[in-house]
């Protein structure tokens, strides 16, 4: 199965080894591709709507024709078991795409086009931390699907 994760911006040095840790652990379950898209611009010289629209365009270009799941603070709350079942369903299709918003969040355009919007918690994380949590949940999801022991 191929899993694509699209996230605006770059990964900070201090999180790189943690992200690499999960990329390595996920290798036996899926072919993972993380695409870092360009940020939409500087809030000091541009308004937030223009920045969000630019980021959305960069993200949509990276997605291509695939449907996608959007990580959204205002999305539906799912348990790790439900999340695992989402992976299981898309496994039959062979691919799955996740989108994370940038520092300002996501545009309405992305919200409208997402096949599903999910929330990780009521807390707000940076886009990089959201990536890390998503990777751990994907790993957890595969462990649940495979009925393998993990942290409970
Ligand atoms: C810094 S947050 C954006 C905050 C922005 N004020 C908003 O309301 O969306 C960056 C991105 O990380 C992801 N994210 C952060 N916390 C999240 C959570 N609890 N659930 C789902 N996604 C989250 C979302 O994709 C979000 O667009």
Domains of the chain, by residue range, sit at 2-66+78-145
Query: Which ipTM did the prediction report?
Result: 0.97
Residue with tokens 């790189």: 16
Residue with tokens 């937030």: 48
pLDDT by position in tens, the chain (length 152):
999 999 999 999 999 999 999 999 999 999 999 999 999 999 999 999 999 999 999 999 999 999 999 999 999 999 999 999 999 999 999 999 999 999 999 999 999 999 999 999 999 999 999 999 999 999 999 999 999 999 76
The runs of H, that is alpha helices, within 27-126 are 48-63, 80-93, 108-113
Distance separating alpha carbons of residues 146 and 141, to the nearest angstrom: 9
User: Which of 96, 67, 92, 91 lies closest to 3, judged by CA?
Assistant: 96
For ligand 1, the distance from its centroid to the CA atom of residue 21, given in whole angstroms, is 22
pLDDT of residue 151: 74
For ligand 1, the distance from its centroid to the CA atom of residue 71, given in whole angstroms, is 7
Measure Cα distances from 147 to 137, 140, 143 in Å. Answer: 15, 10, 6
Fold of the domain spanning 2-66+78-145:
Alpha/beta knot (3.40.1280)
pLDDT of residue 63: 96
* Maximal CA-CA distance, the chain: 51
| Residue 101, annotated as binding a ligand | yes
pLDDT of residue 7: 98
Residues whose CB is less than 8 angstroms from the CB of residue 89 and which lie 6 or more positions away in sequence, other chains included: none
């Amino acid at each position: 199965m191929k899993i694509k994760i699209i996230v605006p911006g770059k990964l900070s040095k201090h999180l790189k080894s943690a992200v690499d840790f999960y990329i390595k652990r996920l290798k036996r379950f899926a072919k993972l591709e993380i695409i870092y898209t360009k940020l939409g611009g500087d809030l000091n010289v541009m308004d937030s709507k223009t920045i969000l629209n630019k980021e959305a365009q960069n993200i949509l270009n990276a997605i291509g024709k695939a449907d996608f799941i959007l990580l959204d603070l205002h999305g539906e709350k799912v348990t790790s078991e439900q999340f695992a079942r989402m992976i299981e369903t898309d496994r039959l299709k062979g691919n799955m795409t996740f989108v994370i918003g940038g520092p300002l969040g996501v545009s309405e355009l992305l919200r409208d086009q997402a096949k599903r919007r999910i929330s990780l918690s009521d807390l707000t994380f940076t886009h990089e931390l959201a990536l890390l949590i998503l990777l751990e949940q994907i790993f957890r999801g595969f462990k649940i699907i495979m009925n393998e022991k993990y942290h409970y």
